[in-house]
Every structure is written in C-alpha cells, then in structure tokens.
Amino acid sequence: MDEEPSAGNAPVLGADDLAALREVVLRAYPETVPELIGGASVAEVLASVEAAAAAYQRIAEGVAARSVAPAPPAVPAGSAAPVAIDPETLPSVEKIRRGLAR
C-alpha cells in the first residue's frame, strides 16, 4: 500500500514514473548533461539538475576555449601576372623540353 506523503516522507515513484519525470526534466532543461540527471525519487531527480547544468556549463566553456579557429591565410584574388623568362638563361635540357611540348 502507498504511504501518505508527509514532511519527511517523499512519495515513492515506480521506474516508469521516474523515467517519465527524467524525460520531462531533460526537455525543460536542455542545457544539462543528460547522464547526470537521475535519482530514485522526485527530490533526487530535481536536485541532480543543478549539478548537471553546472557540468554542462564547464564543458561548454572548455570547448569554446579550445575551438578558437585560427584565421585562414590571406590569398590574393585572381591569378598572378605571367613571369617573363629569358630563353637565354634556360639550360639546354629545358629548352628542348619546351620545344617538344609545343
């Protein structure tokens, strides 16, 4: 038989009721670590919210501190101007290679 709740006696919930309460708490407090929400009574489940929210905040701050991305390198737009090559300065092998490539 169920006991009457009194000041020192919290109502005892079944496993299904505790699971439903946990789901409601997770939806009401999305910025918590879900694995830390739990307990065997309503009071324990509600008390676990504060610790889970604090853990979430610590994790979020740690990730934000580490994920500062460096600025991408500056790359000029467009193509560079062609470089003029003096054929007199090229080695003979390079002159032959270029001649055969045409």
User: How large is the average pLDDT for residues 59-72?
Assistant: 80
Return the pLDDT at 68.
67
Return the pLDDT at 64.
81
Give residue 58's Cα distance to chain centre.
Answer: 13
Q: Which amino acid is at 63?
A: V
- pLDDT tens digits, residue range 31-65? 999 999 998 889 999 999 999 999 999 999 988 87
DSSP labels for 35-65?
GG---SSHHHHHHHHHHHHHHHHHHHHHHHH
- % of the chain exceeding 70 in pLDDT: 86
Q: What pTM value is reported for the model?
A: 0.53
Return the pLDDT at 11.
63
Return the pLDDT at 7.
43
Burial 54-81 (b: 16+ CB within 10 A, else e): eebeeeeeeeeeeeeeeeeeeeeeeeee
Contact predicate 53/31, CB 8 Å: yes
User: How large is the average pLDDT for residues 10-31?
Assistant: 87
